Amino acid sequence: MSYTPETNSRSYLACLMPHVTALAREAGNAIMEIYGVEGLFVDYKQDKSPVTQADMASHAIILAGLERLTPGWPMLSEESTAISFEERSAW
């Protein structure tokens, strides 16, 4: 299923919901698999906040899934690299 940014209705968003829910479940499963392993690796971002393998795995699953569902939509998340305000303000 693929959507375009021009579609912005309640029914459109309702159609997205089962797909987004499935992505959240898939990301949650990946997190739980990683947390089941001893010796979880924790790294730190530039702002000194922690980031784990589980964070990055769930980020990758959600980002890839949203890109398939909504190609052309800009994506920004806590685990993404910084995107300047100038670029984001044009979204």
CATH superfamily of 10-89: Fructose-1,6-Bisphosphatase, subunit A, domain 1 (3.30.540.10)
The position carrying tokens 């530039």 is 46
**Residue spans per domain, the chain:** 10-89
This prediction has a pTM of: 0.77
Distance of alpha carbon 68 from alpha carbon 3, whole angstroms: 9
pLDDT, tens digit, 9 for 90 and up, residues 2-57: 545 555 677 888 889 999 999 999 999 999 998 877 667 888 988 888 888 999 99
How big is the chain by its Cα radius of gyration, in Å? Answer: 15
Q: What are phi and psi for residue 24, nearest 5 degrees?
A: -60, -40
